Amino acid sequence: MMTQAARRRPRAILRTAVLGALTALIITSCSDGHLDVRSVPAAGWSSYGGNSANSNYTYARPPADLELSWTRPTGGPVTSPVTMNGGGDVMVSARTPNGCNMMALDYRAGRKNFCKRMADGFWGNSALIDQFSQPYIGEPGRFLAFTGGGAIRWRKDVSGAPTSAKFAGPGRVLVTTSLGQVLMLNSQNGDDAMPERRLWSNPAADPLTGLGDCVTGAAGCAISAPPAVDWSHQRFFVNFFPQGAKQSQLKALGYGQRGAGETIVDLWATDLPGGVVGPPTVSADGATVYAFGRDGRLYALDAASGAIKWSFDTGGYGFGTMSVSPDGVIVPAGTIGAPLVVVRDTGDKAEEVVRRTDLQTTGLSTLTAAGTLWTVVRTGADQQLELMELDTRSGATKRTLPMPEAKGFATGIAVSPTGRLAVATNIGAVYYYNPKS
């Protein structure tokens, strides 16, 4: 017959084994070789602008055998660039009259992995995606984080409508809003990682207030475009419209450890002629920030001081955004039908290196590590859209890929880590290019 002490012994052994395993796990996780599981940008096209810097540049080299793999209508206009997770799945925001308006599409055939109905007014938001394929996105009055399967992980009430969010470091999500709120959030739970900043005093309670002004960058919208973030120097740049001002300005803020805690602080603000248009872009080395002025010129500013280095007449600010490579190649996104123009930042000035007047560009280009750019152009009497790859040094066309029945303009070109391409049109269709092999 088993005694009470004997019956307790296996339980004690089990408790000791479990405790030992947990202790070993804790020691291992706290050692120098521990695995850091804080969220960081996905290896793919993780955010608006492709990365935290808004550079629309990829280190991937699209394969030579790319072909159109699938197309899919979105049910409404696409008003922000698509983004990608590390596997090449696409996140799309669309202005649909009903049903889903945010959808995750599988790279193999465009099937929906999941879809959601976000609040009206979210349409200008591109999803931010982390290495676990988890999207983060805002809607008027709220910012949300989802699992890779579409379940809500956490939500955060905000003042105004968020712009497209950015990672500002491991586990840090930067959120700026139309009513001037600046938040640095913990990606795990949505808590404030640093005290919030309010760039506008006494903003309206209705988060939709001034949202229409965000489209044009007018006075009713404090921050009308996504920030550009420089991780290495812990600073970010916003297109900011001060209360009571006549025009917007380029504003720099710093973040991180200052004194006893982490905080967000003002660094500098610079006025550009007529104000700033669109999102800024920061160079790969963090030394220069680029922005368009309403005078139609592209400006390069010293990122540390805000001093203007040079300006270049692009003939108009177009879409108010650009693509920038680590070696200083810049492709401004001109107006619809504008020629393709490529310039290079030489330090104290910009030099034009390519001008293709025979091309009618229709949106933002993407630069690659292969020394090429991808852009969408209009061709023929019916103004059919085509996806084209060109050499950034000579401007020579390398290849053209079809976009059947595509009209309007492109909202951007996303590239996966393996070089797959995704393009969306404003009319409401996604085109996806996979390698044949």
Domain that residue 164 falls in: 38-435
Q: Domain for residue 135, yes or no?
A: yes
Strand intervals (E) in 111-227: 112-116, 128-129, 135-139, 142-146, 152-157, 166-169, 172-176, 181-186, 197-198
Q: What is the mean pLDDT of residues 185-190?
A: 98
Residue 175: φ, ψ to 5°: -125, 125
Residue 315 maps to a domain: yes
Domain membership flag for residue 249: yes
Structure tokens at 142: 């709220």
Q: Tokens representing 160?
A: 């105004």
In the chain, the percentage of residues whose pLDDT exceeds 70 is 92
What type of residue sits at position 96? T
The alpha carbon of 250 is separated from its chain's Cα centroid by a whole number of angstroms, namely 18
- pLDDT at residue 86 above 90? yes
Domain membership flag for residue 428: yes
Question: Which CATH number covers residue 272?
Answer: 2.130.10.10
- Tell me the three-class secondary structure of 183-201, residue by residue: EEEECCCCCECCCCEECCC
Q: Tell me, yes or no, whether 13 lies in a domain.
A: no
Strand order in the sheet with 297-302: 276-282, 288-293, 297-302, 308-313
pLDDT for 260 equals 84
Residue 316: the pLDDT is 87
Average pLDDT of every residue of the chain: 93
Residue 30 belongs to some domain of the structure: no
**pLDDT per residue as tens digits for the range 123-168:** 999 999 999 999 999 999 999 999 999 999 999 999 999 999 999 9
Assigned domain for 253 exists: yes
pLDDT of res. 70: 98
**Would residue 32 count as lying in a domain?**
no
Of residues 70, 187, 84, the one with CA closest to residue 136: 187
pLDDT tens profile 417-437: 999 999 999 999 999 999 997
Domains of the chain: total: 1
